[in-house]
Each structure stands twice: as structure tokens, then as C-alpha cells.
């Protein structure tokens, strides 16, 4: 049975929110704060990118600011280890394509992921970074009351799970921190795992609402805990025999670091959909 690991990006893979980071680093905080009450988030970020371009900021300036975001070495190690063991790694994020790919490539882990599902972005003919919503609500609304209009991660997870499980039943591990990670957590089964960042909105929703989560819950607070917990889960799910086979056949860009065995069990908490 294979393992699919799905990561949120902001405050999960990276320590910060990438939108806020770029906006602050490139001096657009005042504009961001001014427009925030009147624009949807994606439209706001698209407008900020247009303004930065008008101020002479280039795509390289945006990329260079992204490269200064802190990414804990333990998380880099966890991603490389999981990839080397044959796990199917994916990103599902409400950031955008350019931001995510720039950061992952900078840290040498872009090739560890089989797919990145996020808000699309592109550089137009004038050199501006344009950011679009994943779901265009006026054309094809997702209809989920839990999620923002531009993205329902729950529907994305269902779309991922269906063809993957059609081949053979896989165990899913979902890592996230925010309110937008609650809906996809509800889609997981009792054979799956959710890893919420402790004391962040997803963890609080799980703690405060005991009913609907079927997946086993493993919390983490920092990169070191994420690496240790994820490694233990993968170790358990793959089984010692398959793990040893994979250890003998490691190759490629993402190298394995030692993954300790653990008998520590997670705990499941059921939670209802907030009204």
C-alpha cells in the first residue's frame, strides 16, 4: 500500500505567508492594507503585483524576495526523505504557482513533488506577474461554505484521491495549518492521517469541534517535530520490509536521511462542520 503526502505551503512548508512576505519585502504593505477590505484575496494580490510592476519592480525582484523566506532544514530533509522512500508528494495551496515553484526550486526540492495544485499565475507580455483564482466563482462556483470562493481544497483532495485509489488503496497524510485545510481534512478516511500545526486554526478547529474527522491526528509545532512525526508515520505505513528495500535502492536528487522506527500511535478526534 503506497503513501500520498499532501502539503499546504504557507506556514507549513515555509514559516511565513508568502503573499504577505512579498508584499512587505517589496514595499507594498500600505496599498495592500488599503485595498484589503474591498477586494477578494486573489484580486488583491494581482493588483499588488501590477502596482509593484508600475514602481519598477521586476519578476527577478519578486523571485529574490521569495528566496529569502525561511524554510526549516528539517522540513527540507523530511520532504527529501519521503520522496526517496517512494511516497507520492503533492502541494495543495492557496498561494500561487510562481511563488511556490520559486521557493521549492531554490531549496532543491521542486522535483520531489509530482503535482502542485494552486492558484495559477503567469508573466504577461509587459512583464507583470498576474495571479488568477483556482476556481472562478462567477463561472464555476465550488459551492462549499467552508472554503474561500477561489479555492475549495476539499474538492481538490477528492479529485486527487479518486484516481489514486482506483489503482490501489493508498494511505493519505495531509499537513496544514489554516482554516482552508479543514475541509480537505474532512475528506480523509480512518486509514488516513492529518497533521495540523499546533495552535494554528486547523488544529483549533479539530480540538474545539469533536465529531467528523475520521483520520488519525498527529500535531506538530516546528520543523523538527514535522520531520520526526512524518518520518514515523511513513515508517509505520510502509512497513519495515519495504522500508529496508527502499533504503538499499536510494538514488536521485532527494536523498534519504535516517527515519527512526516508532510505536507511538496518533489519536483521532472527530469534529463537526462549523455553522
Can you say which residues are annotated as belonging to the binding site for substrate? 19, 94
Contact between residue 23 and residue 57 where contact means Cβ atoms under 8 Å apart: no
Q: Contact at 8 Å (CB) between 66 and 106?
A: yes
The active-site residue, picked from 10, 17, 46, 181, is: 10
Closest CA to 173 of 156, 155, 185: 185
Of 8, 17, 46, 88, the catalytic one is 8
Helix (H, G, I), strand (E, B) or coil at 69: coil
Query: Distance (Å, rounded) from C-alpha 76 to C-alpha 170?
Result: 23
Binding site members: 8, 10, 19, 94, 177
* CA–CA distances in Å: residue 19 to residues 16, 97, 98, 165, 196: 9, 12, 11, 33, 21
H helices within the chain, ranges in order?
A: 18-25, 29-35, 41-54, 59-66, 73-84, 97-106, 153-167, 182-186, 201-208, 223-238, 240-248
Burial group, residue 104, by CB count within 10 angstroms (0-12, 13-18, 19+): buried
* Residue set of the binding site for Mg(2+): 8, 10, 177
Cα Dmax for the chain = 58
Q: How many CA atoms within 13 Å lie on the side-chain side of 146?
A: 19
Q: Which is it for the CA torsion 164, 236, 109, 190, positive or negative?
A: positive
Whether 142 and 155 have beta carbons less than 8 Å apart is answered as yes
Q: Is 10 a catalytic residue?
A: yes
Which residues are marked as active site? 8, 10
Amino acid at each position: 500500500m503506497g503513501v500520498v503526502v499532501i502539503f499546504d505551503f504557507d506556514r507549513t512548508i515555509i514559516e511565513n505567508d508568502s503573499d504577505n512576505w512579498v508584499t512587505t519585502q517589496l514595499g507594498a504593505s500600505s496599498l495592500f492594507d488599503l485595498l484589503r477590505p474591498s477586494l477578494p484575496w486573489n484580486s488583491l494580490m494581482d493588483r499588488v503585483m501590477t502596482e509593484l510592476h508600475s514602481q519598477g519592480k521586476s519578476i527577478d525582484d519578486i523571485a529574490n524576495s521569495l528566496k529569502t523566506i525561511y524554510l526549516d532544514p528539517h522540513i527540507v530533509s523530511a520532504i527529501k526523505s519521503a520522496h526517496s522512500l517512494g511516497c507520492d508528494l503533492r502541494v495543495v495551496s492557496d498561494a500561487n504557482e510562481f511563488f511556490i515553484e520559486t521557493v521549492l526550486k531554490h531549496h532543491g526540492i521542486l522535483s520531489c513533488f509530482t503535482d502542485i495544485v494552486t492558484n495559477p499565475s503567469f508573466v504577461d507580455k509587459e512583464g507583470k506577474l498576474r495571479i488568477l483564482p483556482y476556481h472562478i466563482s462567477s463561472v464555476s462556483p465550488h459551492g462549499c461554505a467552508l472554503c474561500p470562493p477561489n479555492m475549495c481544497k476539499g474538492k481538490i483532495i477528492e479529485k486527487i484521491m479518486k484516481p489514486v485509489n482506483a489503482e490501489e488503496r493508498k494511505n493519505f497524510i495531509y499537513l496544514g495549518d489554516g482554516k482552508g485545510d479543514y475541509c480537505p481534512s474532512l475528506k480523509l478516511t480512518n486509514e488516513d492521517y492529518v497533521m495540523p500545526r499546533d495552535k494554528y486554526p486547523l488544529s483549533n478547529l479539530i480540538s474545539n469541534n469533536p465529531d467528523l474527522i475520521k483520520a488519525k491526528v498527529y500535531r506538530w509545532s516546528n520543523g523538527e517535530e514535522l520531520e520526526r512525526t512524518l518520518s514515523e508515520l511513513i515508517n509505520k505505513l510502509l512497513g519495515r520490509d519495504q522500508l529496508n528495500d527502499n533504503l538499499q535502492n536510494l538514488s536521485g536528487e532527494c536523498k534519504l536521511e535516517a527515519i527512526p522506527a516508532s510505536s507511538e500511535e496518533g489519536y483521532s478526534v472527530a469534529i463537526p462542520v462549523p455553522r
